Structure 1
Amino acid sequence: MSVELLEAGRLRLVEVAAPPMSAEQRAAMNRAWDEAVEVNPSFFDGPLAVCAGLDREPSGELVVSWSRTTYRYLALRRVPGATARRSLFVSVMQPTDDGRVLVGRMSSSTAAPGHWQLPGGSIEPPTGRTPLDEAALRRHAAVELAEETGIDTPAEDLTRRLVIHRSDGQIGVHYLAPSRPASQLHERFAALVAEETAQGHDPEFDRIALIGSPAELADLAGPHVVYLEPLVRYHMDSRLLDGLQDPRPR
């Protein structure tokens, strides 16, 4: 699995028709979904946006085509011979004041138990006449950051940095959050876990870690998502370049 990190001055999202599916594929998908829910009853068949394509305009604008479906559709990947479109997602890099970044390990009740990743998640399509645009993506990223880490950040304070393009067709939009003290990140996460546990819920992250370099990912127990190391490396390299170009005395 390869990952391409794309810089874009502009990003445009275009809705297209839902992916076609034969009656046989739909029946197989439903069986696979029912089996998955039996193993993990927390799975919910809510609305989902999936990727239909990525085009690069001569102007440098990136155009992401997407379709409406539900999480049940992802079970089609479990059907032999079937090809399913991948989900559209957002991710957030949350740095600390001392130069580290936050990563989290997905809990056992999630679709990727034990995997380390950045705060973020799959995109749900808007309802009514609300468009799926950059503003909507930024709002979703802010919600994911709060739900997974307890860190409330206004959507307008998130800065888009990259578009992640995986070789399997999955597309992610990556944001950078303002730096915060490391102690605050730990305190907010501990408060979130306590609140979720008191309500009988499993937090989406069962633990977090603050890392200062891509090499430290190897010290984390468990696998990590394929785009994590390239994003951490990009962030650390960008910080170094910004520091070299900063003319202010230190």
Structure 2
Amino acid sequence: MTAELWDVSRLRFEETDPPALTAAQRARMDHRWAAAVTANPTLFDGPVVALAGFERDGAGGLSVSWTRLTYRYRVLRGLPDAPAVAALFVAVLQPCDDGRLLVGRMSSTTSAPGRWQPPGGTLEPPGEGAALDLDVFRLHVARELAEETGSDTAADALVPGPVVLDDRGSLGFLFVAPPRPACELRERYAQLARDEIASGVDPEFDRVVLIGSSSELRALPGPLASYLELAAGRFFGA
């Protein structure tokens, strides 16, 4: 499956029940999760928004069904006869004032070590009974931007961009942050990394770079998030 990039003018979200698992499926899931945590003790079974389904109407409308799960459900991928589990995620394109774009490389303690991507992450669910909407997305992506790069941007300053479907069937909502000076972006990330390392925490990004073109992006050493080249191409006007 290849990634896709969509322009969406109307969004609708509907919460649905979690997928039902048989006892055998749940046992295999728990076994796989325990093995994953043994291999990477930083993994945690926190709450996430999972994608239950979506439908496009061909005129800019997108209807999304979602449900509340935890991270361990991700290990269902690849299990025979298990329900398909995809994610809803957010990402933010952070430009600098000279037109370049910030991307980061995921550290060895994350779920995708070595992968280059924009700041962002899997969406966390709103409070029980609360609706999922773009305001929830903005708050989450502002927090991810601060936690991964040290840049504190107000949620209402983030502009919604296109929606992406990645190569694993997960649905992502892109936002664009206001431009910042390149030196400020570097200094804020460096200070964040120093503070986290001093406190015994590995930064989520072990490196950030500013890229000025799609060709510079393709030249980065290591894998790219499946949607990153499409998103960067749109940003650079390709």
Identify the TM-score tier after normalising by the shorter chain: over 0.9
Aligned AA for 2:206?
Answer: D
Q: How does 1:172-191 map to 2 (within 5 A)?
A: 172-191=172-191
Give the corresponding residue for 1:241. none
Question: Is the 8 Å Cα contact of residues 19 and 83 (structure 2) preserved in structure 1?
Answer: no
Q: How does 1:46-125 map to 2 (within 5 A)?
A: 46-57=46-57, 60-80=60-80, 82-125=82-125
Displacement of 1:159: 0.5
Alignment partner of 2:194: what SS? helix
Superposed CA RMSD in Å reads 1.4
Give the corresponding residue for 1:159. 159
Question: Is the 8 Å Cα contact of residues 121 and 144 (structure 2) preserved in structure 1?
Answer: yes
Q: How does 1:187-226 map to 2 (within 5 A)?
A: 187-226=187-226
Give me the whole-angstrom Cα distance separating, in 1, the residues matched to 2:32 and 2:176: 36
Instruction: State the structure with more CA Rg.
Output: 1
Displacement of 1:234: 0.7
TM-score, reference length from structure 1: 0.91
Question: Is the 8 Å Cα contact of residues 54 and 65 (structure 2) preserved in structure 1?
Answer: yes
Q: Percent identity?
A: 50
TM-score, reference length from structure 2: 0.96
Q: Decide which moves more: 19-28 or 49-58.
A: 49-58
Give me the whole-angstrom Cα distance separating, in 2, the residues matched to 1:86 and 1:133: 18
Give the corresponding residue for 1:43. 43
Q: Decide which moves more: 74-83 or 204-213.
A: 74-83
Aligned AA for 1:153?
Answer: T
Once the two structures are superposed, what CA deviation does each residue of 1:142-171 show, in whole Å capped at 9, x if it has no partner? 110010000000000001111112354210
Once the two structures are superposed, what CA deviation does each residue of 1:127-150 show, in whole Å capped at 9, x if it has no partner? 234322110011101110010000
Give me the whole-angstrom Cα distance separating, in 2, the residues matched to 1:136 and 1:37: 29
Q: Decide which moves more: 165-174 or 194-203.
A: 165-174
Alignment partner of 1:87: what SS? strand
Q: Decide which moves more: 5-14 or 117-126.
A: 5-14
Question: Is the 8 Å Cα contact of residues 53 and 169 (structure 1) preserved in structure 2?
Answer: no
Give me the whole-angstrom Cα distance separating, in 2, the residues matched to 1:220 and 1:152: 26
